[in-house]
Chain A
């Protein structure tokens, strides 16, 4: 499927591939990494591969170790791939439209626990730029960074903390790559504290932020 998509992209189409489970797409990693992601760089930037690969992740009932992996960090470390992880219905539509019309390959990751989440969605062409985080809550005590389903969990946690007198910045990354470092750094430089839920470890190595406390990273299998 992926090879067909790459070939179709090079002939001018904009294919959208659906993998019902992210795990099932791993057989195509060679084509994704060595063909789709690198094409623009191997041929002098003459053309990219406008391919969108939807992958659904997260576990459900009775699923085993090969049906429940969250591998966004892996994809995000491949130069040439964009990695999108929406958390709301509005973002799902806007970011998917932007992914489809992006000139390069995009991995679009949907957590299955979000599929029944309801929300307001604009009509028509409502593209949302890739790589722009959204500030969902504004506070001065700590920065919470989340993405995909963890954004919903973080919203509950942040609202609970507000009732206890702790005010949080809550950033929904929306894209793992490109990562909106500017938004993260601006927030952390204001709060001095960072709580991370599901984010690639690169932030820990490369961020240029002034922290009052040691970074805390929360990761879990959902």
Chain B
């Protein structure tokens, strides 16, 4: 168990899914944004996803 935000849990799920199955792909508004997404309240939930799973 780890303590994290809802947003980071989303990030974890996406990373986990792409690790489990190379057929999982993510795209859409904000996905390649190195800061996460542009909205202030959402910063953090896609951080580094594109770097972890290029």
A92 smallest CB distance to B (angstroms): 4
A1 to B28 Cα, complex, angstroms? 7
- Inter-subunit contact A54/B20 (CB<8 Å): no
Chain A residues positioned under 8 Å from B46 (CB to CB):
18
- Inter-subunit contact B10/A14 (CB<8 Å): no
A114 to B25 Cα, complex, angstroms? 24
Q: Which residues, 69 to 118 on A, are CB-close (under 8 Å) to B?
A: 86, 88-90, 92-94, 96-97, 100-101, 110, 112-118
A110 to B25 Cα, complex, angstroms? 19
Interface residues of B (CB under 8 A from A): 1-10, 12-14, 16-17, 20-21, 23-31, 37-39, 41-42, 44-46
- Inter-subunit contact B4/A118 (CB<8 Å): yes
Check if A17 is an interface residue, CB within 8 A of chain B. yes
Which size bracket describes the interface of A in this complex? 35 or more
- Inter-subunit contact A89/B26 (CB<8 Å): no
The interface centre, meaning the residue of B24, B30, B39 with most chain A CB atoms within 10 A of its CB, is B24
